[in-house]
């Protein structure tokens, strides 16, 4: 297996307690990276950190609410104090909720953007000096909904489109300083995202079954598959890729609404 060239690199991964963030943190750990694990639940982060005992990488548990600026500042400060700098930032924390233009409240809209966009922006802003110093990179976790419109997830779609354009604009600005910024755009992946967004187990099972028909490859994705793409984009193997929003969605972005 080809080494990814990130052994000893310092990474911050948000949303590291579950789903794509967790899978990414463990993928980095298997490659020997030093990973700052960020999420709200310290208990769940410690469960992830325990798995690093069998990996060549190192983990630092950093419970934080990424919508709180002081928490973001503490995360960055703690990682730099512990390991001397930052090479990679992965913004994987995110939420989803149903809602249309008619019934989405301003409070729901603001919450969606606070977690999905504002937190990603602020962590990129805070990490930029360290990423510039080390010629590092950022990978943002977006969604197929950033590329295509879907009904009844208005705020989520808009927030992920914002993440995509944030990615492109930051990539353009940071490229002359040697920093790459990319995003991945998953289709439906089996995580806790939708259940935390309000789906009960029955509705979620029906959603996953239906999603087999809306993804041309006939199945939904696994967090580990997305993590492998993030790992590639964060590695030297992707040194000539920046400003890209890369679909990993079983072909979902190629289809019309159905």
> What integer pLDDT is reported at residue 209 of this predicted model?
86
Residue 258 is predicted with a pLDDT of 63
pTM to 2 decimals?
Answer: 0.94
Identify the residue whose tokens are 């104090």. Answer: 81
Nearest alpha carbon to residue 116 among 161, 76, 149, 152: 161
- The mean pLDDT of the chain is 94
Render pLDDT for 152-207 as a digit per residue (tens, 0 to 9). Answer: 999 999 999 999 999 999 999 999 999 999 999 999 998 776 667 667 788 778 76
In a domain, 251, yes or no: no
Within-domain flag for 255:
no
Domain count, the chain: 1
Higher pLDDT, 134 or 210: 134
Q: Check residue 1 and give its pLDDT.
A: 46
- For the segment 118-131, what is each residue's pLDDT rounded down to a tens digit? 999 999 999 999 99
Residue 194's pLDDT is what? 64
Query: How far apart, in whole angstroms, are the C-alpha atoms of residue 41 and residue 22?
Result: 12
With contact defined as beta carbons under 8 Å apart, do 220 and 188 qualify? Answer: yes
| Tens-digit pLDDT profile for residues 197-244 | 667 788 778 767 888 888 999 998 999 999 999 999 999 999 999 999
In a domain, 4, yes or no: no
Largest CA distance in the chain: 51
Give 44-70 pLDDT, tens digit per residue. 999 999 999 999 999 999 999 999 999
Identify the CATH number of the domain in which residue 33 sits: 3.40.50.720
Active site residue 156: yes
The mean per-residue pLDDT over the stretch 27-36 comes to 98
Torsion, Cα of 167, 171, 172, 174 (10° steps):
140
pLDDT at 257 over 80: no
Within a domain: 161: yes
Q: Which of 122, 130, 156, 204 is catalytic?
A: 156
pLDDT at 160: 98
In whole angstroms, give the CA distance from residue 8 to residue 56. 9
Question: Is residue 129 in some structural domain?
Answer: yes
Distance, C-alpha 226 to centroid of its chain:
9
Domain range for 143: 10-246
Q: Write out the DSSP string of 104-122.
A: --HHHHHHHHIIIIIHHHH
Mean pLDDT along residues 85-91:
98
DSSP code at position 153 = B
Task: Specify if 257 maps to a domain.
Answer: no
Q: How far are the Cα atoms of 97, 103, 105 from residue 108, in angstroms, in the given order? A: 8, 10, 5
pLDDT digits (tens, 9 = 90+) for 38-49: 999 999 999 999
Count CB-CB contacts under 10 A for residue 206.
Answer: 11
Residue 183: inside a domain, yes or no?
yes
Decide if 95 is inside a domain. yes
């Amino acid at each position: 297996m080809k080494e990814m060239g990130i052994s000893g690199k310092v990474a911050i991964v948000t949303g590291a307690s579950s789903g794509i963030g967790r899978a990414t943190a463990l993928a980095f750990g298997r490659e020997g990276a030093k990973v700052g694990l960020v999420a709200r639940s310290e208990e769940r982060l410690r469960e992830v950190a325990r798995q690093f005992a069998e990996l060549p990488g190192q983990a630092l548990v950093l419970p934080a609410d990424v919508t709180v600026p002081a928490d973001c500042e503490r995360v960055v400060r703690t990682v730099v104090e512990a390991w001397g700098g930052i090479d990679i930032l992965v913004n994987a924390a995110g939420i989803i909720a149903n809602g249309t233009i008619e019934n989405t409240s301003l409070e729901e809209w603001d919450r969606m953007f606070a977690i999905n966009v504002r937190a990603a922006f602020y962590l990129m802003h805070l990490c930029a000096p360290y990423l510039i110093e080390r010629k590092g990179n950022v990978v943002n976790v977006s969604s197929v909904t950033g590329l295509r419109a879907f009904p009844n997830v208005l705020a989520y779609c808009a927030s992920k489109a914002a993440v995509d354009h944030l990615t492109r604009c930051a990539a353009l600005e940071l490229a002359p300083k040697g920093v790459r910024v990319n995003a991945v755009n998953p289709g439906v992946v089996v995580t806790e995202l939708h259940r935390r967004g309000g789906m009960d187990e029955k509705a979620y099972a029906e959603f996953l079954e239906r999603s087999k028909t809306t993804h041309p490859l006939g199945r939904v994705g696994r967090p580990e598959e997305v993590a492998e793409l993030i790992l590639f984009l964060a590695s030297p193997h992707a040194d000539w890729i920046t400003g890209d929003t890369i679909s990993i969605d079983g072909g979902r972005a190629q289809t019309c609404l159905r």
